[in-house]
Amino acid sequence: MNCLCLALALCTALVAGTQSTSVTYKDVVAEEWETFKARHSKQYTDKSEENFRLKVFMENKQRIAKHNKRAANGLHGFTLAMNEFGDLLSHEFVSVMNGFKRSYKLDSYNGSTYLSPNN
């Protein structure tokens, strides 16, 4: 009986000790998110915007991990990594990075003028 009580007490102490020092997934994500925001100087207008961007960041992080796992298995020839665009949706990234908009103002055009030959 004393052995059973001692074993139970030992297990309880062991579980209590590991719970106080364990790091949760939420803690890891929160730390990565804060590091991402600090590294790329990200600031958001309000808490709902920040929560949305955190969700997008987590989805992009998952997509990167899935791709890199496939790359490690030889299914892709390259790996991905998180960058400053990690909190953007795909269409937001496209609108930021694609679509050069040339200005066609005639008054700012300093090209050559056609001169007819003298002969």
In-domain check, residue 32: no
Assigned token pair, 97: 């990075």
Cβ neighbours for 60, distance < 8 A, ≥ 6 positions apart: 82, 86, 87
Between CA 29 and CA 35 the distance in angstroms is 10
Residue 37 forms part of a structural domain = no
Please indicate, yes or no, if residue 10 is contained in any of the structural domains: no
Summarize pLDDT for 55-74 with one digit per residue, the tens. Answer: 999 999 999 999 999 999 99
- Would 49 be classed as within a structural domain? yes
Residue 106 has pLDDT above 90, yes or no: no
Asked if residue 30 is part of any domain, the answer here is no
Is position 38 within any domain? Answer: no
Examine residue 72 and state whether it is found in any structural domain, yes or no: yes
Range of the domain at 50: 43-98
In angstroms, the CA 45 to CA 48 distance is 8
* Prediction pTM value: 0.64
How many domains does the chain fold into? 1
Which residue in 53, 77, 57 sits closest to 67, CA to CA? Answer: 77
User: Does any domain span residue 103?
Assistant: no
Distance CA(54)–CA(87), nearest Å, equals: 7
Residue with tokens 């209590």: 16
